[in-house]
Amino acid sequence: MTAYGGNARLFFTRLGKMRLGAEAGYTYFFWYTVTGAGYPITYSPHATRVAAVLRSGLGRQMALDAGAGIYMFPSGTNLGVNAALGYFVPVGRRWSLPIKVRGDVVFTPSTTLMSALALIGLSHTF
List, for residues 26-37, the tens digit of each pLDDT value: 999 887 778 878
Give the C-alpha distances (Å, rounded to integers) separating 96 from 14, 43, 91, 105, 109.
20, 37, 5, 27, 39
Q: Which residues of 106-118 are buried (b: 16+ CB within 10 A; e: fewer)?
A: bebeeeebebebe
Confidence at 65, pLDDT banded by 50, 70, 90: very high
C-alpha count within 13 angstroms, C-beta hemisphere, residue 49 = 31
pLDDT over 80 (residue 79):
yes
Fill in the amino acid letter for 120. I
pLDDT over 70 (residue 9):
yes
Percent of the chain at pLDDT > 70 equals 99
**Mean per-residue pLDDT over the chain, rounded:** 92
pLDDT score of 114 = 87
- 36-58 pLDDT, tens digit per residue, is 788 888 888 899 999 999 999 99
> Which of 34, 33, 30 has the alpha carbon at shortest distance from 47?
30
